[in-house]
Structure formats: C-alpha cells, structure tokens
Amino acid sequence: MAIAKGSKTWILSTFIAGIIFMILTLISIWPIPGIIFLFLTTIIFLKTGFLFLFFRDPERDIGKGIVACADGRIREINKLKDDKVGECTKISTFMNLYNVHVNRIPLDGIIKNVVHKRGLHLPAFKKESEKNEQLITIIDTNIGIIKVVQIAGTLARRIVPYIKKEDKLKKGEKIGIIRFGSRVDVYLPSKKIKTISVKTGDIVKAGETTIAEIND
C-alpha cells in the first residue's frame, strides 16, 4: 500500500517514538515506570497504525465521465450560480477519518489558479463550514471552468496541494490531501452536464466513481 506524498515523516516520527518507549519499557527496573512506558508504547504504536491507515494512497482505476474528487459520502447536490463557473451544479463529498484523504482532479484540465483562504475549523458537515479554511482550485477543461474547493474541518489543520498554476493534469491525477478531514466541493458547469450520476448519501471513491456524464 502506497503512502500519500508528504506523509512519511509523520509516520516515521511516531514509529521512532514508539521504539524509544519500547526500549525504556524493556530496560526499566522499576514496575510503575515500566507500566507507564508500556502504556505509552502501546498508545504511540496505535497512533502509528492510525497514520498508516489515514495516509494510505491506493491505486485507482479511473472512471468514465467526470469522476469524484474525494472518497466519502455525497452530502449535498445543489444548483447555483458561481462567480467563476457560472450556472453550475455543486456536489459536496464529506470524508470521514477512515476514508482515503488524497484528492484527485475530476477531468482533464489545466490549473488556472490555486488560492488558499484562511478560516475557521468548524465541523465540515455544518452550513457554517463555508467560513472554514479552504483551498480553491480553478481548472480549465474541455467543458469550461470547473472549481474544486477543499475544506478543512474540526480535526483537519492543513490542506496540502500537490499542484500549482499552469500544471496540466489528466483525469484522476492527484491534486492534494487534507490532513485529518473533511470535505471537498466540486462545481460543474450545468449546461455541459447531461446527467448527475450520484445522489445524496452515495459512497464514492476519488478518481474511480463517475459523478456526472458530459453532454455529447
């Protein structure tokens, strides 16, 4: 299982800390310090296992049409008007801690802008989470402008981009990771969409699940 880019130091640091406390447990001659060291060793190795799970980055078979940007559950599908996309459909995917947190581009395109927006760290499923820290990516595609918004949540403290302005990406390539959370919104131009292939409550996989079909 591959590990997400930029995550190995997190895993390695906790693993080394676990080894240190394990050694302290083995060399301790006093029972109470030994029990404390054993407890800390267990907690740290459990954390290492969690980080392996959280930062996993499995290979994906890229789906047809427009694909999901994130693993998780479709929480919301709305029609609205956006200043970058125009008349569009917004599809929101909420990621739980156990989901893969590497996000992917929904369609072939050129990155026209990447904007980091500072904000709060409210639960990503709340309406007020629009005020949260965000990374907004504008993509020029063959159906027009698509916008992807990565949103931090309560536990998510950093959105790490893998891309920069003017990068040319193929559908399903990785665009970044949200550490410990939380939600990704994709804005699709309504006039270019034939059908939305998902509904609220559906489970999707980034790069693999088709979320919309394009007009011929």
Residues serving a catalytic function are 182
- Token couple for 194: 């034939």
Is the separation of the CB atoms in 152 and 186 below 8 Å?
A: no
Q: Give every CB contact of residue 167 below 8 A, 6+ residues apart in sequence.
A: 110, 111
Integer Cα distance of 191 and 70 in angstroms? 23
Integer Cα distance of 200 and 216 in angstroms? 25
Please give the order of strands across the beta sheet that includes 174-179: 102-104, 174-179, 158-161
Q: Give every CB contact of residue 44 below 8 A, 6+ residues apart in sequence.
A: 14, 17, 18, 21
- In degrees to the nearest 10, what's the CA dihedral of 92, 97, 101, 107? -20
Integer Cα distance of 113 and 144 in angstroms? 14
